Amino acid sequence: MKTKDLSETLAVVSGGTRGIGLALVQGFLKAGMHVATCSRSSQHVESLRKTHASSRLDVFSADLSQREGVRSFVREIHALKLPISVLVNNVGNFVPAYLKDEPEGQLESLMATNLYSAYWLSRDLIPKFISQKFGHIFNINSVAGLQAYPQGGSYSISKFAMRGLGLALRAELKEYGIRVTNIFPGAVLTDSWKGTTLPSSRFMRPEDIANMVWQSLAVSERSNVEDIILRPVGGDL
């Protein structure tokens, strides 16, 4: 599928009402693509519908940390009856903590949000990609999935696991011509950093990550951008 043909296809973005996800949704709409996205917050869903009213945008309420939430979102995606050119696994939650101090259940919660959401959504849409014989899966990971650090705790564990998911998807789907790209951003100025006293210049913008997705889509169908690492110019925080 060439970039110029993407306007007749669907981009699926999980968690597309804020931050990196919103920047992705805006970019795909600007390119003339159809977009399906979701949020577990009905308030954020309604806000996106009002501010980005478009016949090419479908926004659904779904909690992708729950298996039934993923099934519900997938049913809505299939009901649109469009070829899916892009899946961006973007849902995630950042909770810094030392392993010894984090509350009971934090690992399970972060694994459900950061890993299982991407695992379930990818599995449910893979048959569609295989039948089409094209598609591109993006996993929005984190530099915490490459290098553990103090107070990374269960967040880092979940992101290392997501890295494994990306590697497995790449190994299994290349024979079908389906591309997989894993993106590892450093600090991006989103709600995860709400309340920080650090200057905004120390953070990347959500649009920086969205641009990397588009650049990866633009390479020829003979190529696959496997991994992208982005950090603030001043280094990690």
Show which residues are catalytic: 155
For helices 19-30 and 206-218, what crossing angle results, to 10°? 50
Q: Hey, what's the torsion of the CAs at 54, 179, 146, 67, to 10 degrees?
A: 60
Whether 111 and 164 have beta carbons less than 8 Å apart is answered as: no
Residue 13's closest CA among 127, 79, 78, 90?
Answer: 90
Residue 192's closest CA among 34, 21, 49?
Answer: 21
Residue 86's closest CA among 43, 161, 31, 39?
Answer: 31
- Return the ∠ at Cα 115 (arms to 18 and 119), rounded to 5°: 105
What DSSP designation does 103 have? P
In the numeric block, which tokens belong to residue 39?
Answer: 């949020």
